[in-house]
Amino acid sequence: MLKISKPIRVHKHVITVTRASTHVVAALWLIIVYVGALKGSIAGDPVQYLIEFSGKGAINLLLISLMISPIAKWLKFGQLLKFRRTTGVYSAIYALFHLYVFIRYELQFEWGLILSEIIERPYITVGFVALCMLCALMVTSPSRIKRMMSSHWQKLHNWVYPTSILTIIHFWWSLKSEWSEPLFYLVFLCILLAFRYKKFMPKTKR
């Protein structure tokens, strides 16, 4: 890989503005699509559309958040790390919206069925577990809580790796056929995880 020797550093306002735009884009995108669906301007079935949009959105955001630290390391661009939390939090928000659409519009608050689907359908169980994990990561993401948790925080947040695998499995199992898309995601995720191989090696004493 191309070696970058000089660390990159930008003015902190650039980071602030870029992070604000990330908020605006991620939030507005979701809101515009939802309002469009409510108004009936989506061709075909809006429920299916919203479920797919939010599900894939959550996966994309999660993968983006996992891309950040390898890129920051490669470019020696430490400030990039500030975007991990933003993208990670939006991944959880999209995933929550995904569940909300499923409960409100797909199963329309039939709680008995919602519960039995979560328990009995492996792909939904897996997705639900991943969502719970993402929520746990989201609520522990503020700096104040991070400080309070000290070393436990990193242990908890390392769960993002198994969680990311679960989200792809959930996507894969939800399809009737045609697995090239989740396969692409899985390969991409494996590459991202490979950058972190040291984390997954057993600790050896020196």
- Between 44 and 202, whose beta carbon lies closer to another protein? 44
- Would the CA dihedral through 185, 32, 46, 116 be positive or negative? positive
Residue 192: CB minimum distance to another protein, A: 23
Residue 49: CB minimum distance to another protein, A: 8
Q: Which of residues 96-155 bind another protein (CB under 8 A)?
A: 105-108, 110, 113, 116-117, 120-123
How many residues bind another protein, per CB under 8 A? Answer: 32
Residue 179: CB minimum distance to another protein, A: 7
Residue 132: CB minimum distance to another protein, A: 20
Q: Which of residues 9-68 bind another protein (CB under 8 A)?
A: 37-48, 50
From candidates 5, 150, 151, 177, binder to another protein by CB under 8 A: 177
Residue 185: CB minimum distance to another protein, A: 14
- Between 85 and 170, whose beta carbon lies closer to another protein? 170
DSSP string, the chain: -----SPP---HHHHHHHHHHHHHHHHHHHHHHHHHHHHT-SSS-HHHHHHHHHHHHHHHHHHHHHHHHHHHHHHT-GGGGHHHHHHHHHHHHHHHHHHHHIIIIISTT-HHHHHHHHHH-HHHHHHHHHHHHHHHHHHT-SHHHHHHHTHHHHHHHTTHHHHHHHHHHHHHHH-SS--HHHHHHHHHHHHHHHTTHHHHSPP---
Residue 45: CB minimum distance to another protein, A: 5
- Between 69 and 174, whose beta carbon lies closer to another protein? 174
Q: Which of residues 154-173 bind another protein (CB under 8 A)?
A: 173
Q: Which residues bind another protein (CB under 8 A)?
A: 37-48, 50, 105-108, 110, 113, 116-117, 120-123, 173-174, 176-180
